[in-house]
Amino acid sequence: MAKVHNFSAGPSILPREVLEKAASAVLDFDNLKLSLLEISHRSKNFEAVMERARSLVKELMQLPDGYSVLFLQGGASLQFVMVAQNLLRERGKAAYIDTGTWASNAIKEAKIFGQVEVVASSKADNYRYIPKGYTIPADADYFHCTSNNTIYGTQIKEFPTSPIPMVCDMSSDIFSRRIDFSKFSLIYAGAQKNMGPAGTTLVVVKDEILGKTGRAIPAMMDYRTHISKDSMYNTPPVFAVYVSMLTMEWLVSNGGLEWIENINRQKAELMYAEIDRNPLFYGTVAPEDRSWMNACFLLKDPALEPEFDKMWKEAGISGLRGHRSVGGYRASMYNALPLESVQVLVEVMKEFERIKG
Q: How far apart are CA 348 and CA 314, in angstroms?
A: 10
* Length of the chain measured in residues: 357
Query: Do the Cβ atoms of 69 and 226 come closer than 8 Å?
Result: no
Q: Sketch the per residue contact string, 110 through 149, with ligand PLP: x for CB under 6 A, - otherwise.
A: ------------------------------------x---
Query: Do the Cβ atoms of 145 and 188 come closer than 8 Å?
Result: no
The DSSP line for 134-179 is ----TTSS-EEEESEETTTTEE-SS----SSPEEEE-TTTTTSS--
> Which one, of 149, 148, 156, lies nearest residue 131 by Cα?
156
Q: How far apart are CA 346 and CA 343, in angstroms?
A: 5
Using alpha carbons only, give the angle 151, 22, 291 rounded to the nearest 5 degrees.
20
Instruction: List active site positions.
Output: 102, 169, 193
Q: Which of residues 58-77 bind ligand PLP (CB under 6 A)?
A: 75-77
Q: Which is nearer to ligand PLP, 172 or 335 (CB)?
A: 172
List the one residue from 99, 121, 150, 332 that touches ligand PLP (CB under 6 A): 150
185 is in an annotated binding site: no
- Shortest Å, Cβ 176 to ligand PLP: 12
Assess 322 for contact with ligand PLP (CB under 6 A).
no
- Shortest Å, Cβ 194 to ligand PLP: 9
Q: Sketch the per residue contact string, 188 through 227, with ligand PLP: x for CB under 6 A, - otherwise.
A: --x--x----------------------------------
Assess 45 for contact with ligand PLP (CB under 6 A).
no
Assess 12 for contact with ligand PLP (CB under 6 A).
no
Assess 319 for contact with ligand PLP (CB under 6 A).
no
Query: Do the Cβ atoms of 326 and 15 come closer than 8 Å?
Result: no
* Residue type, position 166, single letter: M
The annotation places the binding site at 42, 76-77, 102, 150, 169, 192, 234-235
| Interacting residue ranges for ligand PLP, rule: CB under 6 A | 10, 75-77, 102, 146, 150, 169, 171-172, 190, 193
